[in-house]
Amino acid sequence: MLDSCKLKSACNLPFICNKKIINTAGTSNAEVPLADPGMYQLDITLRRGQSLAARDRGGTSDPYVKFKIGGKEVFRSKIIHKNLNPVWEEKACILVDHLREPLYIKVFDYDFGLQDDFMGSAFLDLTQLELNRPTDVTLTLKDPHYPDHDLGIILLSVILTPKEGESRDVTMLMRKSWKRSSKFQTQSLRLSDLHRKSHLWRGIVSITLIEGRDLKAMDSNGLSDPYVKFRLGHQKYKSKIMPKTLNPQWREQFDFHLYEERGGVIDITAWDKDAGKRDDFIGRCQVDLSALSREQTHKLELQLEEGEGHLVLLVTLTASATVSISDLSVNSLEDQKEREEILKRYSPLRIFHNLKDVGFLQVKVIRAEGLMAADVTGKSDPFCVVELNNDRLLTHTVYKNLNPEWNKVFTFNIKDIHSVLEVTVYDEDRDRSADFLGKVAIPLLSIQNGEQKAYVLKNKQLTGPTKGVIYLEIDVIFNAVKASLRTLIPKEQKYIEEENRLSKQLLLRNFIRMKRCVMVLVNAAYYVNSCFDWDSPPRSLAAFVVVEDMLEDEEEEDDKDDKDSEKKGFINKIYAIQEVCVSVQNILDEVASFGERIKNTFNWTVPFLSWLAIVALCVFTAILYCIPLRYIVLVWGINKFTKKLRSPYAIDNNELLDFLSRVPSDVQVVQFCLESCLTCLHFEICDVNIS
């Protein structure tokens, strides 16, 4: 069977044919009456390219191929680096509405950070293909502006088959594209009648980026500011930047979804960050997952090609998580036997069985009402995206409807009970990126099991309502002990996120939040000062007794970074100032959020976390009562100093900071409080200060 199936709607295109069919036995279907829309399936195998055009300064190219029908992209191949005779051997399945519409093939040279270079295009006339017969096709690439240039050839194998009477109800899995625009790349997946539940990925690839060794110096000071990019298919991850070092220590962990049975290849590139100009390329390497055994951690030391140095990784391949899509009639929790199995899996007796598997989430996406009209016809073509951390699933599209009914059930594996479920509604557009219609964000701990609720759709920033409501029914089952233990380890980072931009409004808001935190400290200082003034003799006497034994002199040292002596042009200075402003904006946000999270812990904003803090303090108090403090400090010190010896590649973390990272800041409280207060069926009113 085919590796993937890309299903897209099509619209009319002017006919241009530029092809040569090698196997031409039999008659074509050009004279056969054309079927109704959605009646043909086109299976394509992209074989290879020959003598392609060189677009890079080194006399090579990094080619990839796009397939388009009706002006809409339906397939994009992987990138073959530095090769004018690339071999892809990739398969795709396309549902064709009309055979009158040709398949448009375009080849590009990938350029990181720049616009990709055009390498040629061709058309495939579908009316000339014989039905139900494999056909080898050779396409000559041409540039419409320079028709005399020889740009090479592309070799394909195609099969065109009629698909009469087949349902067009399609469920899709969304993964963000590598394009620098906001468009999606979507992979479609049919619901099989033979399988009640369809697992969308076959496994999880867990990657830990440990360190780099002896990397190439790219800056004039003999150092670099390295970071690493990972790519598996359309999934990507970017590490943090390590300033001024050739031997960076990242210690970052993240997961990719594994879609192919045979594994796939992870493309890894190392870069040097440069402010105001294009980042410098340090080197690249690859990891062939098909060569790694399952359920085992592999330590890999990878030599960087086209550069210098090594990268050290830990890679683990594990079985598929509990993620599926099904129709509303197929409900895991309504099946008594399946429900008992799920409850048993997360019972208190299985505390130490797979600590990463915290719980089970089932989301019923039922319908939406009163959506915004995004098309000129006064209608929309809505589809729904359900996201939990880095897991993203899509419903099918309901065309020309402002009150769509999806009736789909999504199940997820919960890795962190403090995650937020995001449900976003988009309008599908044929010729451009999907239009945003509305969004809701629901913390898992605020969910009331088994209740169907109408959630008011909000804007992208979740700061105010937009038009329409969406009806959801959500169930959460989790192990409280596992969830508590996971709270004390680093939070999973979303690897598909927009970079922060400079915003005057956001900068002002963060400044006000920071000012509030500072005022709390100032008021605390006034309170302490009142103890010295003996405004309240009992309080001052108690403070005197407590503080007398705790006063110590401390010295502070000011560390100053060496300043770069490079002279920058005016444009570079502008970029540098902008980066500084963004950094200040982010620092203000982090500091303000830190103070707000401490406050919200004591305010019982999230009862689960407040109870967890109380239990931890009670346990610590009991231990302190039974064991002298010096022994506790001794054990803690031995553990900290020997941690690297016992586990050299362990990721550094601070349990207290990890705990606070789960507590929502005031901004998140406003978003989620409005969500929970305005979205239930009764639309209860909540008085929230949004300022």
Length of the chain in terms of residues written: 691
- Over residues 472-492, the pLDDT tens digits come to 999 999 999 999 988 888 887
Give the single-character DSSP code of 38. T
Unique residue bearing structure tokens 């004591």: 602
Residue 210 to residue 564: CA distance in whole angstroms:
28
Tokens representing residue 290 in the block: 């098909």
* Biggest alpha carbon–alpha carbon distance for the chain: 105
345, amino acid identity: R
Q: What's the pLDDT score for residue 27?
A: 37
Please, which residues have CB within 8 angstroms of residue 118's CB and are 6 or more apart in sequence?
106, 107, 108, 109, 143
Query: For residues 389 and 491, is the Cβ–Cβ distance under 8 A?
Result: no
Query: For residues 456 and 440, is the Cβ–Cβ distance under 8 A?
Result: yes
- Distance set, CA 99 to CA 31, 65, 135, 224, 336 (Å): 11, 21, 16, 54, 48
User: Using 50, 70 and 90 to split pLDDT, how confident is the model at 246?
Assistant: very high
Q: What's the pLDDT score for residue 500?
A: 60
Please, which residues have CB within 8 angstroms of residue 302's CB and are 6 or more apart in sequence?
268, 285, 287, 310, 311, 312, 313
Nearest-CA neighbor of 489 among 646, 620, 653?
Answer: 653
- Over residues 503-537, the pLDDT tens digits come to 667 777 777 877 777 777 777 777 767 766 666 77
β-strand partners of 138: 20, 155
Query: For residues 124 and 19, is the Cβ–Cβ distance under 8 A?
Result: yes
Q: With both helix axes pointing from N to C terminus, report the angle between 504-532 and 666-678 in degrees, rounded to the nearest 10.
A: 110
The mean of the pLDDT values for the chain is 76
Residue 2 to residue 10: CA distance in whole angstroms:
21
Q: What's the pLDDT score for residue 276?
A: 67
Query: For residues 474 and 363, is the Cβ–Cβ distance under 8 A?
Result: yes
Nearest-CA neighbor of 513 among 654, 669, 655?
Answer: 669
User: When comparing pLDDT for 377 and 610, which is higher?
Assistant: 610
Nearest-CA neighbor of 70 among 22, 133, 11, 156?
Answer: 11
Mean pLDDT of 26-43: 52
Q: How many CB atoms lie within 10 A of CB 478?
A: 19
Tokens representing residue 50 in the block: 């020959």
Residue 271, class by beta-carbon neighbours within 10 Å (0-12 exposed, 13-18 middle, 19+ buried)?
buried
- Is it the case that residue 423 has pLDDT exceeding 90? yes
Please, which residues have CB within 8 angstroms of residue 132's CB and are 6 or more apart in sequence?
159, 160, 161
Query: Which DSSP string do the residues of 468-534 spell out, in sequence order?
Result: EEEEEEEEEEE-HHHHHHHTTSPPPPPSS-PPP---HHHHHHHHHHHHHHHHHHHHHHHHHHHHHTT
Q: How many CB atoms lie within 10 A of CB 228?
A: 24
Q: What's the pLDDT score for residue 49?
A: 92
- Over residues 336-367, the pLDDT tens digits come to 888 888 888 888 888 877 778 899 999 999 99
